[in-house]
């Protein structure tokens, strides 16, 4: 039996990376990354396209309540009041680069719009549909972690190397995982999707252009110093 749950999600369609285009259909809409695989990408500074924000929506005071509700439901990141304040200041000083930069940074913190069907779900997952019938046993079945521990198919005692929630599969479970990945990928490729391999080390601008904040008190990224005169940093 499969249990389908629907979590809070962004109000935009999702597309795989098709050739050289990266598109986001919500508050953020970014341009096209061209020629990212040029041989000189490690020796020349790459100029990333500036984010094209939906200013008409974000800076409209009529949308303040909707945006603020969405911020609360999306981990409370972003300040719409500050966005509107900076927008008013920019109208008085349209040539002020400092205000323009601050406004852009604040708008980037606003989360994507949430689909109306999941707006009121809250923190608990919502059951959309049951597929199949729940199997009944004439004995008490073991849970996943009990089975994998007995058969030595999973390791999670990796505190010296990774975080406390990290794990990896071994033996036949690892082989089954690999087979499932290959099967799923082959089905996607047969339907016209394009596979993309993401590097482990990325410039901060790339991560932030995807809508992920990197400058908070708690971050999911690790910093690596970049050998450049301007002292910029890379993330991975």
CB atoms within 10 A of CB 191: 7
Q: Is the pLDDT of residue 215 over 50?
A: yes
Q: 58 CB contacts (<8 Å, ≥6 apart)?
A: 27, 67, 80, 83, 107, 110
Segment 43-50 long-range contacts (CB within 8 Å, at least 24 positions apart): 45/228, 46/203, 48/203, 48/205, 48/206, 48/209, 49/209
The pTM score is 0.52
Looking at residue 46, its pLDDT comes to 57
| β-bridge pairing 52-53 and 223-225 | unpaired
- 81-124 pLDDT, tens digit each: 999 999 999 999 999 999 999 998 899 889 888 888 787 776 77
Q: Is the pLDDT of residue 33 over 70?
A: no
Looking at residue 229, its pLDDT comes to 53
């Amino acid at each position: 039996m499969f249990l389908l749950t629907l979590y809070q999600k962004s109000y935009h369609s999702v597309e795989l990376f098709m050739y050289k285009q990266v598109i986001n259909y919500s508050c953020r809409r970014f341009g096209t990354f061209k020629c990212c695989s040029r041989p000189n990408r490690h020796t020349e500074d790459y100029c990333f396209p500036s984010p094209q924000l939906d200013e008409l929506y974000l800076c409209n005071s009529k949308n303040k309540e909707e945006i603020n509700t969405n911020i609360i439901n999306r981990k409370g990141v972003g300040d719409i009041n500050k966005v509107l304040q900076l927008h008013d200041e920019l109208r008085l000083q349209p040539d002020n680069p400092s205000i323009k930069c601050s406004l852009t940074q604040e708008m980037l913190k606003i989360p994507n719009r949430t689909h109306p069907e999941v707006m009121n779900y809250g923190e608990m997952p919502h059951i959309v549909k049951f597929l199949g019938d729940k199997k009944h046993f004439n004995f008490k079945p073991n849970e996943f972690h009990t089975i994998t521990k007995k058969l030595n198919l999973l390791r999670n005692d990796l505190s010296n190397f990774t975080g406390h929630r990290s794990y990896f599969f071994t033996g036949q479970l690892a082989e089954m995982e690999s087979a499932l990945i290959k099967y799923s990928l082959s089905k996607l490729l047969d339907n016209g999707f394009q596979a993309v391999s993401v590097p482990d080390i990325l410039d901060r601008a790339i991560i932030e252009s995807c809508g992920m904040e990197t400058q908070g008190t708690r971050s999911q990224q690790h910093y690596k110093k970049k050998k450049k005169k301007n002292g910029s940093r890379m993330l991975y």
